[in-house]
Amino acid sequence: MDTSRNTPSNFIRNIIDEDLASGKHKGIVTRFPPEPNGYLHIGHAKSICLNFGLAEDYQGTCHLRFDDTNPEKEDEEYINSIMEDVHWLGFDWGDHLYFASDYFDKLYEFAVELIKQGKAYVCQLSADEIREYRGTLTKPGKDSPYRDRSIEENLDLFERMRSGEFEEGSHVLRAKIDMASPNVVMRDPTLYRIRKIAHHRTGDKWCIYPMYDFTHCLSDALENITHSICTMEFENNRPLYEWILDQVYPEPHPRQIEFARLNLGYTMMSKRMLLQLVNEGIVESWDDPRMPTLSGLRRRGYTPAAIRDFCERIGVAKANSLVDMAFLEHCLREDLNANAPRTMAVLRPLKVVIENYPEDQIEELDAVNNPQDPEPDTRKIPFGREIYIEQEDFMEDPPKKFFRLAPGREVRLRSAYFITCTDVIKDEAGNVIEVRATYDPNTKGGSAPDGRKVRATLHWVSATNSLPAEVRLYDSLFTVEEPSIDALAEQLNPNSLEVLTNARVEENLAQAVPGDKFQFERQGYFCVDKDSTKGNLVFNRTVALRDTWARTNK
RNA sequence: UGGGGGAUAGUCUAAGGGCAGGACAGAUGACUUUGACUCAUCCAGUCUAGGUUCGAAUCCUAGUCCCCCAGCCA
């Protein structure tokens, strides 16, 4: 039994424990086998954490293997992004980087072996005909007229498929299993098809490419994988996985174990949908901060530690599930609360003039960087006669439970002084455009020597000694918890991005570079976007702080 | 309606004959120079119906509902 960490038990660990206890395996080897046809998303993170995490816990190894058997859809760009994302998440495959395409020669030999055993044949039915012959879910299929060719003829035909003699679609290699099997996967599945396309790694060497079912089990076996963990939709393919290995590969065989893929509320994990969002310009790119891709989450400000923690805490099971986005956000906040330095930023500024504060005076005040640190350090922040506070922190006519600034009321400015609102200045339309106040010089640092209390502490920045910034606020991409790919248009959230261009941030942020993460006090966690430059700071809101006031206010 | 898989609080997940436990969400309170964090308390569950048993979420029988499979995709 594994007791080295707090990971909750799950059925996969139970299987591994049994296999180790029975002596079936001395150690474990897992693998993460992405097809390089898209960017990795949070669902892949679950699989990555599972496979690499299991290998770590059991002192085994985990391979990164690109399942690149379909040159039509695959691309070098994806290979690079996948490697970057896996590393970013915090995992390392060491020397164990593999490509299914590296096995094409061996795979071809296994196919020949199958033919020699009389268990595979070259079929000249068209794709449509094969579908017809396959039968339906309730009706058995019927044998292909090419099913009983001689071994010699099959060998010859397969060799000629390989040499490029035949057109795409004219011939395929099929396993000879059982056209009447209740499991349609077993009705003489296609093993090889002709595709006269260059492969991104093997170039023009091949014009026939092996199918997933043939490739995957043998790749696992060739790499001595012990536990081949995949998602539930491959459960029907497991008999084929085992059948192929039984015919051509010596024991022990890798064992395929299926688990339920991750579904997250208010987003979607299908590669097809993500590709569509990018292609139709609904989002900016694969790494748009609203995307559930790892590159999108990274740009949004998510941390690898938070994602790993999340993947561990959601557990692993076989039942369909829909995980609450709030849980991901909880894991994120937990990490960021401990690690993100605090700063002050005013998103929607409202000017406050402190009438009894000397004009042209600026003083440096000390502010704590992260009160969660055991020994917090401080920074200097400039304070002056004119400051900005958040528009929503002032109300001329406040309701009962509003603790913030209002006419005649005293509040604390974080790390600065108590101020009392003395007057309100409005424009012609009646909007509050400025607040006048007085400060109490005896409350420097934020506490009153006479012990008097205030209900609220506001964040603020100096009006003169602060920096302009653009702030991008994000919301979920969809308005429904379980969006369906067919109703994408109606279910898109038109307000998934809100850009604030008048924000002000502490001048300490002048040196911030893309990827830097901060807590904007009382508001949330923000990170510097890659669009940000020295003269034009851009921040993404990673996640807002929990806000009970907003909730009771609703 | 063939085959495969699944069902435990609103959500995710433990317990595999012996006290249904944890986390998220929600509620209340305490604390607070972030209406944050933290802490405390509370709310809330074994798909249904039978059976076996001293005892069933767990074993048996029969149902119900949900997911997957008919690519020369993975």
pLDDT tens-digit series, residues A441-468: 999 999 999 999 999 999 999 999 999 9
Distance A107 CA to B43 C1' (A): 59
* Alpha helices, DSSP H, located in A117-262: 127-134, 151-163, 212-222, 238-248
Six-digit token string for A21: 């206890």
| Residue A1 Cβ < 7 Å to strand B | no
Nearest to A138 by CA among A180, A96, A83: A180
Angstrom distance (rounded) from CA A103 to CA A98: 9
Q: Are A518 and A506 in contact (CB under 8 A)?
A: no
Q: What is the pLDDT of residue A484?
A: 87
pLDDT digits (tens, 9 = 90+) for A34-59: 999 999 999 999 999 999 999 999 99
Mean pLDDT in chain A? 96
Q: Sorting pLDDT into bands at 50, 70 and 90, what band is A489?
A: confident
Q: Where in chain A is the domain with CATH 2.40.240.10?
A: 341-464
Catalytic residue of the set A116, A195, A261, A444 = A261
Q: Sorting pLDDT into bands at 50, 70 and 90, what band is A7?
A: low
Number of Cβ within 10 Å of residue A36's Cβ equals 23
Assess whether pLDDT exceeds 80 at residue A169: yes
Find all residues with CB under 8 Å of A313, minimum gap 6, and list them: A327, A331
Q: What percent of chain A has pLDDT over 70?
A: 98
Helix axes A304-313, A42-57, angle to 10 degrees: 80
Q: What integer is the mean pLDDT of A86-103?
A: 98
Instruction: For residue A398, say if its preceding peptide bond is cis, omega within 30 degrees of 0.
Output: no
Distance A317 CA to B66 C1' (A): 15
- Protein-contacted positions of strand B (CB under 7 Å): 1-8, 10-15, 21-27, 33-38, 66-74
Assess whether pLDDT exceeds 90 at residue A63: yes
CATH architecture designation of domain A11-259? 3-Layer(aba) Sandwich (3.40)
Select A341-464's CATH number: 3.40.50.150, 3.30.70.20, 2.40.240.10, 3.30.565.10: 2.40.240.10
pLDDT digits (tens, 9 = 90+) for A241-289: 999 999 999 999 999 999 999 999 999 999 989 999 999 999 999 999 9
| Residue A269 Cβ < 7 Å to strand B | no
Assess whether pLDDT exceeds 90 at residue A427: yes
**SS3 per residue for A244-296:** HHHHHCCCCCCEEEEECCCCECCCCCCHHHHHHHHHCCCCCCCCCCCCCEHHH
Q: What is the pLDDT of residue A551?
A: 84
Q: What integer is the mean pLDDT of A292-301?
A: 98
Hey, what amino acid is at A207?
C
Catalytic residue of the set A13, A35, A363, A386 = A35
Q: Where in chain A is the domain with CATH 3.40.50.620?
A: 11-259
Q: What is the pLDDT of residue A4?
A: 34
Q: What integer is the mean pLDDT of A135-144?
A: 97
Q: What integer is the mean pLDDT of A219-223?
A: 98
Distance A2 CA to B73 C1' (A): 38
Q: What is the pLDDT of residue A6?
A: 54
Length in residues, chain A: 554
| Residue A260 Cβ < 7 Å to strand B | yes
Q: Are A218 and A109 in contact (CB under 8 A)?
A: no
